[in-house]
């Protein structure tokens, strides 16, 4: 390799902060030393990483490609060091676990207890960032197992079925809609409606329930954290359509109510996603199998 780790860290830091002075501070060196480091990297590579744009530095096309590699590689190396320390000191195999779409973790303590009872060396590390970009997180190695709703068939990703859930209307506990056997999309027209994503996902509520009706809620607000949506609904500020499993903890405490969508309801399958490249019996595959076993006992 022509570059040292300090050069890769430099590329990542400049890209993330977008400012040479701030990057120098973050790296703990002077601006002059950073300039020398840039020049050294360019000399070793035989080409320009940056070009001046006024007072700022702009990545060249070649510089953008190598910086993209730095942004993907450095987090993997940092996680590898952290995992090594954990494995070496505790003889554990760390598996990073995330939940796609919904930020709900009420089930986690019970599952960790189940894992501890059935294995001696698997250690779960929760990765909350996988909620927004589950497939990318798996592909880049920032997460090892993702519990995901819906159909996310992707090359290189293995799907292990877990359980069948349903999408439901979530309302304040005493909302009039909670007394209905089921609701139609028309019932949402005058409601303040919360959604956790501005992307229309195939197989979810907008695709299967709202859009076919031609009815669009007049007051629609994006709140990216589903646990925040639950708090807003509990306070009587609106409604949403969410996974019944994801909100079951709040349903049990009667902070919110749920109502079926349409006379037949809308089912929602959940799966455990892992990388196909993982060997059979790898820690990730073991955890996916344990998830499937655990849900059968629920």
Full-model pTM: 0.69
Give the β-pairing of 219-222 and 145-149.
unpaired
Mean pLDDT of 257-261: 97
In tens, the pLDDT along 161-180 reads 999 999 999 999 999 999 99
- Whether the pLDDT of residue 90 is over 60: the answer is no
Give the β-pairing of 192-195 and 219-222.
parallel
119 SS3 class: coil
| Residue listed under structure tokens 């939940």 | 99
- Whether the pLDDT of residue 92 is over 80: the answer is no
Residue 45 pLDDT = 87
Residue 89 pLDDT = 53
- Whether the pLDDT of residue 93 is over 90: the answer is no
- In this structure, what are the phi and psi dihedrals at residue 32, rounded to the nearest 5 degrees? -65, -45
Label residue 41 exposed, middle or buried (CB < 10 Å: 0-12, 13-18, 19+): buried
Residue 218 pLDDT = 84
- Whether the pLDDT of residue 239 is over 80: the answer is yes
- Whether the pLDDT of residue 153 is over 80: the answer is no
Mean pLDDT of 43-72: 83
Judged by phi (left if over 0) then psi (alpha if -120 to 50, else beta), residue 69 lies in alpha
CA 59 to chain centre: 29
- Whether the pLDDT of residue 159 is over 90: the answer is yes
- Whether the pLDDT of residue 88 is over 60: the answer is no
- Whether the pLDDT of residue 265 is over 80: the answer is yes
Kindly report the average pLDDT of the chain as a whole number.
Answer: 88
Identify the band that residue 27 occupies on the pLDDT scale cut at 50, 70 and 90.
confident
- CB-side neighbour CA atoms (13 Å) of 75: 12
Inter-residue contact 38 to 11 (CB < 8 Å): no
What is the rounded distance in angstroms from the CA atom of residue 51 to the CA atom of residue 220?
A: 43
């Amino acid at each position: 390799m022509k570059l040292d780790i300090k050069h890769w860290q430099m590329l990542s830091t400049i890209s993330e902060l977008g400012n040479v002075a701030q990057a120098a501070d973050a790296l703990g060196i002077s601006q002059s030393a950073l300039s020398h480091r840039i020049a050294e990297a360019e000399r070793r590579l035989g080409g320009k990483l940056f070009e001046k744009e006024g007072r700022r530095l702009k990545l060249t096309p070649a510089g953008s490609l190598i910086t993209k590699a730095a942004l993907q590689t450095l987090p993997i190396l940092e996680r590898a060091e952290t995992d090594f320390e954990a494995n070496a000191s505790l003889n554990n195999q760390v598996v990073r676990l995330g939940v796609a779409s919904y930020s709900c973790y009420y089930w986690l303590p019970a599952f960790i207890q189940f894992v501890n009872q059935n294995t001696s060396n698997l250690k779960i590390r929760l990765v909350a960032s996988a909620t927004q970009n589950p497939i990318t997180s798996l592909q880049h190695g920032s997460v090892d197992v993702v519990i995901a709703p819906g159909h996310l068939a992707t090359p290189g990703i293995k799907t292990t079925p877990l359980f069948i859930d349903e999408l439901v209307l979530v309302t304040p506990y005493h909302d009039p809609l909670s007394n209905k056997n089921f609701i139609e999309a028309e019932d949402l027209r005058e409601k303040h409606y919360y959604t956790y994503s501005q992307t229309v996902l195939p197989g979810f509520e907008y695709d299967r329930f709202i859009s076919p009706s031609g009815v669009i809620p007049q007051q629609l607000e994006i709140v990216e954290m589903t646990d925040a949506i639950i708090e807003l609904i509990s306070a009587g500020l609106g409604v949403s359509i969410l996974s019944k499993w994801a909100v079951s903890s709040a349903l049990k405490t009667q902070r919110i109510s749920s109502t079926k969508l349409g006379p037949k309801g809308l089912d929602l399958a959940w799966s455990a996603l892992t990388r196909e490249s993982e060997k059979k019996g790898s820690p990730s595959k073991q955890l996916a199998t344990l998830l499937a076993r655990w849900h059968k006992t629920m």
